């Protein structure tokens, strides 16, 4: 069928755009001399991940153990669980590690180090572990300028019960940038912070194998990753309205969207109602630091060929999207029962609201992908 015939709201993936995004990132990683370890949390789909790792070593990054289980079952052998490890799931991780070549864990504190060591000592398990470094996002990670951070790295590297993989960082602060030039500055700080910390560890006699960086805004902007060994962007495979607004990509690179139906006309307030609400688009406010009136996604015609900047999604309730005209609306262009394509602010969050994606080439639905769910 054609996408326009699908029931709504439904999520769709533009396969041509996805493959183009994947190829561009793979080529850039080769050009910069780093391994590409894509983050699969954006789509959580085995099919998309297989496209992402083409031409690279096949390693991936996950954000949940549910993802790790599913991708291991699908044949992915080198997986980094890029969240500071929750010790309550140590047995689950140990069991999963037996089915892959590497399940790399992450820590940034002595308590987690002690817990992993105790388990390893008692069970004869040696987990491969990264030390998370804070390069300015301040969500997680050790401060690379503090002496106790260096001490933790030395303890980790010298543990007989763990395998020190290296250092890892994530420049999430790049999402607050306003353009590509600013993203490049943050990318350089991301790289420099973790490379310098690796050099400090080496000066203490600690071999540092991997120096891992990654975020879609920084990877899209960076032009030099000397000292790094791998990159872990994720959102680039779909991109979204947020990434387009901050200069990571163009509107033509957006590969994930939601098909919605017009279910109401309200000429007295110059508005429409669609059947895609918060549970179809997410309530991510989008790039309000760049465009305060951005609304909850970009509107396009049902076939995707016409941008509709005169439509702005100004409010969301659970199952309804409130659309307001930026100019007086010609309602004949948006009939009740007609359909619109919405490109959400945040593709990762919006995609997580669906149990399947329709895969399209042009207007034609050619496949259906089922993402992993759960934690």
Task: Name which of 88, 110, 174 is nearest 136 in CA terms.
Answer: 174
- Asked, colleague to colleague, whether 3-10+250-366 and 16-236 share their fold, the answer is no
- Residues 3-29 have a mean pLDDT of 98
Q: In the beta sheet, which residues pair with residue 365?
A: 360
Task: Name which of 143, 28, 38, 124 is nearest 80 in CA terms.
Answer: 38
What pLDDT is attached to residue 348? 98
What pLDDT is attached to residue 333? 96
Share above pLDDT 70 across residues of the chain, in percent, rounded to a whole number: 100
Strand ranges of the sheet holding 210-213, from the earlier edge strand across to the other edge: 35-36, 230-231, 210-213, 162-169, 127-133, 102-107, 78-81, 60-62
Burial state string for 187-203 with b = 16 or more CB within 10 A and e = fewer than 16: bbbbbebbbebbebbee
Task: Name which of 64, 121, 76 is nearest 102 in CA terms.
Answer: 76
pLDDT band at 57; cut points 50, 70, 90: very high
Q: Where are the domains of the chain?
A: 3-10+250-366, 16-236
- Residues 295-313 have a mean pLDDT of 97
CATH topology (fold) of 3-10+250-366: Lyase, Ornithine Decarboxylase; Chain A, domain 1 (2.40.37)
What pLDDT is attached to residue 91? 97
What pLDDT is attached to residue 235? 98
Angstrom distance (rounded) from CA 117 to CA 43:
33
Q: In the beta sheet, which residues pair with residue 339?
A: 261
What pLDDT is attached to residue 325? 98
What pLDDT is attached to residue 53? 98
- Residues 17-45 have a mean pLDDT of 98
Prediction pTM value: 0.96
What pLDDT is attached to residue 349? 98
What pLDDT is attached to residue 328? 98
Angstrom distance (rounded) from CA 272 to CA 285:
19
Side-chain-side CA neighbours of 175 within 13 Å: the count stands at 21
Q: Using an 8 Å Cβ cutoff, are 155 and 193 in contact?
A: no
pLDDT band at 133; cut points 50, 70, 90: very high
Structure tokens at 216: 């879609």
Cα four-point dihedral sign 51, 56, 61, 66: positive
Question: CB under 8 Å, gap of 24 or more: what pairs does 172-176 form?
Answer: 172/137, 172/139, 172/215, 173/136, 173/137, 173/138, 174/215, 174/217, 174/218, 175/215, 175/217, 175/242, 175/246, 176/289
What pLDDT is attached to residue 298? 98
**What phi, psi does 202 have (nearest 5°)?**
-65, -35
- Residues 112-130 have a mean pLDDT of 97
What pLDDT is attached to residue 317? 98
What pLDDT is attached to residue 344? 98
Task: Name which of 71, 117, 79 is nearest 101 in CA terms.
Answer: 79
Q: Using an 8 Å Cβ cutoff, are 357 and 372 in contact?
A: no
pLDDT in tens, 196-234: 999 999 999 999 999 999 999 999 999 999 999 999 999
- Residues 92-113 have a mean pLDDT of 98
Structure tokens at 325: 């005209």
Query: How far lies 174's CA from each of 8, 37, 214, in Å?
Result: 34, 19, 10
Q: Using an 8 Å Cβ cutoff, are 142 and 133 in contact?
A: yes
Average pLDDT, the chain: 97
Task: With H, G, I as helix, E, B as strand and everything else as coil, classify residue 36.
Answer: strand
pLDDT band at 318; cut points 50, 70, 90: very high
Q: Are strands 210-213 and 230-231 parallel, antiparallel or unpaired?
A: parallel
pLDDT in tens, 260-301: 999 999 999 999 999 999 999 999 999 999 999 999 999 999
- Residues 105-117 have a mean pLDDT of 98
What pLDDT is attached to residue 161? 96
CATH topology (fold) of 16-236: TIM Barrel (3.20.20)
Structure tokens at 263: 């279910």
What pLDDT is attached to residue 228? 98
What pLDDT is attached to residue 315? 98
What pLDDT is attached to residue 195? 98
């Amino acid at each position: 069928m054609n996408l326009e015939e699908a029931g709504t709201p439904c999520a769709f993936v533009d396969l041509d755009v996805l493959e183009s995004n994947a190829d561009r990132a793979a080529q850039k990683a080769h050009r910069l001399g780093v391994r590409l370890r894509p983050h699969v949390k954006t789509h959580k789909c085995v099919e998309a991940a297989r496209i992402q790792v083409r031409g690279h070593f096949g390693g991936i990054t996950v954000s949940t153990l549910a993802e790790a289980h599913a991708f291991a079952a699908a044949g992915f052998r080198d997986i980094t669980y890029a969240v500071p490890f929750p010790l309550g799931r140590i047995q689950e991780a140990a069991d999963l590690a037996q089915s892959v070549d590497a399940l790399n864990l992450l820590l940034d504190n002595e308590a987690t180090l002690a817990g992993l060591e105790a388990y390893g000592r008692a069970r004869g398990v040696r987990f491969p572990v990264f030390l998370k470094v804070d390069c300015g996002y301040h969500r997680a990670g050790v401060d690379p300028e503090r002496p106790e951070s260096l001490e933790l790295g030395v303890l980790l590297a010298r543990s007989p019960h763990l395998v020190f993989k290296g250092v890892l960082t994530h420049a999430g602060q790049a999402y607050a940038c306003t353009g590509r030039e600013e993203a490049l500055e943050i990318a350089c700080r991301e790289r420099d912070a973790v490379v310098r910390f690796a050099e400090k560890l080496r000066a203490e006699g600690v071999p540092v194998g991997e120096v891992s960086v990654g975020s879609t805004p920084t990877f899209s902007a960076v032009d030099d990753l000397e000292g790094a060994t791998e990159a872990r962007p994720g959102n680039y495979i779909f991109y979204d309205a947020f990434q387009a607004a901050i200069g990571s990509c163009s509107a033509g690179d957006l590969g994930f969207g939601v098909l919605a139906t017009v279910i109401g006309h309200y000429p007295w307030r110059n508005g429409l109602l669609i059947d895609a609400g918060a549970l179809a688009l997410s309530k991510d406010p989008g790039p309000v630091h760049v465009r305060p009136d951005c609304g909850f996604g970009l509107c396009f015609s049902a076939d995707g060929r016409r941008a509709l900047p005169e439509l702005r999604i100004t409010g969301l309730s659970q199952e309804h999207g409130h659309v307001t005209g930026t100019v007086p609306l010609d309602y004949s262009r948006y009939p009740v029962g007609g359909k619109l394509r919405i490109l959400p602010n945040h593709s990762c969050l919006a995609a997580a609201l669906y149990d399947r994606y329709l895969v399209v080439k042009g207007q034609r639905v050619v496949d259906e992908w089922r993402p992993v769910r759960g934690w």
